[in-house]
Amino acid sequence: MNNPYINDVATQKGFTLSAYISSLMSTLGGAFTMDKVAMLIGVLLAFLTFLGNFAYQEFRRQRERRKEQRERLQEEKDEKRKQELHAADMQLKAALLKQVEHPNGPHSTITTRACSTE
C-alpha cells in the first residue's frame, strides 16, 4: 500500500477503492447481459416502490388515528359542556320555579296578607 510516488494516505486509499470498484464493475458487466441488468433494475425499483407505498400507508394510518383521537376528545369536551349547561339550566329553572311558587318568601301568601285584620 505504500507507494513511493504518492505520500498522501487518503489518496492511496481512494485509488485502492476505485481499483476494487472498477474490478467489481467489470466482473459484473461480464457476468450479466443487458437483459439481466434490466431485470435486476426492475426488481430493485419494484422493491423500492413497495417500501415507499408501505411507508406512505403507515403514515396515513397514523394521521387518521391522530385525527380520530382529536375528534373523540372534542366530542368528550362537547358532551361535558352540554352536561354543564344542562345542570346550570336546571338550577336556573328550579330557582325561577321557587320564586314563582313563593314570590314574597316561603311563608307569605297573598290570601293571608289580604285577610289580615291587623
pLDDT in tens, the chain (118 residues): 565 666 677 788 888 889 999 888 888 777 778 888 889 899 999 999 999 999 999 999 999 999 999 999 999 999 999 999 999 999 999 988 888 877 665 555 555 555 555 5
Same domain, 22 and 53: no
Same domain, 27 and 38: no
Q: Which pLDDT belongs to residue 112?
A: 52
Could you give the C-alpha distances from 65 to 32, 48, 54, 69, in angstroms and in order? Answer: 47, 26, 17, 6
Same domain, 40 and 22: no
C-alpha to C-alpha distance for 91 and 57, rounded to whole angstroms: 51
Same domain, 39 and 25: no
Bridge-partner residues for 103, per DSSP?
105
- Count of structural domains, the chain: 2
List the alpha helices (DSSP H) in 1-118: 9-31, 34-101, 110-114
Same domain, 16 and 41: no
Same domain, 42 and 86: yes
**Structural domain range at position 3:** 1-31
